[in-house]
Amino acid sequence: MTTNASSAAAAPFPSSSSSTPGFLTLTSPADILAAIPYLVGFHPSSSLVVIGLDAGQAKLVVRWGLPLPPGSLAPLAPLFDREGVTQVVIIGYGAGEVVTPAVDEARLLADKAGVRVGEALRAHEGRYWSYVCDAPMCCPAEGTPYDPSTSQIAAEATVRGLVALPDREALERTVAPVTGPVRMAMRRATAEAIAELRAGLTATADLDAFAQRYVAEGLARVRSALTAHAQGGRLDDADAARLGLDLTIIRVRDEAWTLMRESHAPLWRDLTRRLEPRFAPPAATLLAMAAWRGGNSVQATIALERALALDPGYSMANLLMHAVQNLLSPAIMRGRLPTPAELDAAMGPAHAGWLLPLVNLLDEADSPAYPVEP
C-alpha cells in the first residue's frame, strides 16, 4: 500500500458504495493518517490503530492506548473472522520503543489469522515510517513528513460533518459534568426532587404501594423523555433531576435499555453531564449502549469510564465494558433484549425493595471535584 496508489481503501461513513459521497478514498499512508482522527473521533497519540478491510473497503477500526496490557489484542482474531476481514492496516502513534512491540504483535496475530498486512506504520511528531517498506525512495530512514490538517481527506471529512477532536481528553470532556450556573440549577432541582421523594416516603402507610406508583411514574418519565428528545426537545432541570432519580431503579433503567436506539445517545449524553454525579452512572451506561449500538466504541468506552469512575461496582457498566473491550459485536444484543412486558413478567410487581438503590444515594454528597463555579 505504500507504493501502490491503486490499493485504495474506502472508509465506511454512512453510505453504501465507495463511489458515493459517503466514502473517503484513501490511496497513500498520508491519506490513512489524515483519515484516522475522523475514524476514532480524535487525533490519537500513544495509540495503536487497526483498520480491517475486505475488497478495499474498511470493515472496522479499532484503537488501543499504548503501552498495551498483556492480552489486549487477543480479541482481534475472532473479530477478523466475524467481520470477514481479509486485509489490515496497522498504525502506531508514538516513539519506536513503545510502538514497535505493539505493531509486531498485531502483525503476528494477523499472520496467524490468515489476514494480509497491507501496511504497517509508525507516526510520531509529524513523520511516519513504514514497517513493510524499506525502499529509501519512498520510505526514507528519517521518516516521511505529513500534515493531516492540510490534507484533502481532512477537508472532505469536515465537509461531510465528521469531527476529529484534538485528543482523547477533549472527547472525555464531551461527557464531563457541567459546571457554573447549569450545575447550580441542577443541584437545586435535584435537592427539590429528593425532598419530594422523602415527603412521599414519610407520608405513605404502604411502602409497596408507594413503590408501585413511583416506578410507574418513572417508566412514564422515561417514555416521555424519549418522545421529547425525538421531537427535538430537552428536559428542563426538574424533569431531568426526577429522571436521574428514577434511573437508579433497575426496572426503570431497564425500560430505557430495552427501548434503546442509537438515536437516543444525545439524550443520555445530556443527562450524563447534567445529573448530579452520584446519579449519573445509569445515564452514562445508557449513553455507552447507544454509542456501542451505533458502532462508536470509543464514545462507549469513554462513557463507561465515566460511569465506573463514579461507581466502580456498577454491574451493567462493567458488563458492557467487558463486551466493548473484547470487541464483541452489538449485534449480539439485537433481537435479544426483552420487551417491557417481558420485563414485567420476569421481575413481577414493584415493591419497596426496588427503591433501595435510590434511597441509599439520597444522603450521599457529591465530590467537590465537580465545581459549581463558572
Which residues pair with residue 24 across a beta bridge?
11
The reply to whether 219 and 129 lie within a common domain is: no
Q: The domain spanning residue 98 has which CATH number?
A: 3.40.140.10
Quick one: which of 218, 82, 212 has its CA closest to 204?
212
Could you tell me the residue range of the domain that residue 322 belongs to? 173-362
The reply to whether 277 and 331 lie within a common domain is: yes
Residue with cell 469510564: 305
Phi, psi at 28, each rounded to 5°: -155, 165
Q: Which three cell numbers stand for residue 182?
A: 447549569
The reply to whether 225 and 142 lie within a common domain is: no
* Number of compact structural domains in the chain: 2
The reply to whether 151 and 206 lie within a common domain is: no
The reply to whether 108 and 242 lie within a common domain is: no
Quote the distance between the C-alpha of residue 346 and its chain's center: 30
Among 108, 138, 164, the domain boundary falls at 164
pLDDT digits (tens, 9 = 90+) for 319-332: 999 999 999 988 88
Please check the confidence at residue 307 and state whether its pLDDT lies above 60. Answer: yes
Confidence (pTM): 0.85
The reply to whether 185 and 155 lie within a common domain is: no
Please check the confidence at residue 369 and state whether its pLDDT lies above 80. Answer: no
The reply to whether 113 and 257 lie within a common domain is: no
The reply to whether 63 and 123 lie within a common domain is: yes
The reply to whether 194 and 268 lie within a common domain is: yes
238, 192 Cβ separation under 8 angstroms = yes
Answer with the residue of higher pLDDT: 68 or 163: 68
Which residues, 6 or more positions from 17, have their beta carbon under 8 angstroms from its beta carbon? 23
240, 228 Cβ separation under 8 angstroms = no
The reply to whether 139 and 248 lie within a common domain is: no
Q: Kindly report which listed range (14-28, 61-75, 115-129, 184-198) carries the lowest average pLDDT score.
A: 14-28
